[in-house]
Amino acid sequence: MQGMSLASIKKNPALIPLYVCVGLGAVAAVFYTARLAIRSPEVSWNRKGNPEPWEEFRNKQHKVR
């Protein structure tokens, strides 16, 4: 692609903030999705062990950070 090479970025330095913002947005989206998948008690990765792990939290207090 013509716009994605280092030479074209040197020709158009005004595009650097655009690439930085898009890159940071992509990293933030991946981090947020991973955080939801890891930290959320509603997500179950082990289907064989306990198919409904959210039932354990019915009578417990759950602190949302």
Terminal Cα-to-Cα distance of the chain (whole angstroms): 43
Which residue, among 40, 41, 38, has the nearest Cα to 56 in the 3D structure?
A: 41
65 occurs within a structural domain = no
Q: What is the pTM of this model?
A: 0.61
- Per the structure, the complete domain to which residue 39 belongs is given by 6-57
Q: What is the pLDDT of residue 42?
A: 72
Domain count, the chain: 1
62 occurs within a structural domain = no
20 occurs within a structural domain = yes
Q: What is the pLDDT of residue 41?
A: 67
AA identity, residue 57: F
pLDDT tens track for 3-62:
678 888 888 889 899 999 999 999 999 999 999 888 876 777 777 777 776 677 767 776
AA identity, residue 40: S
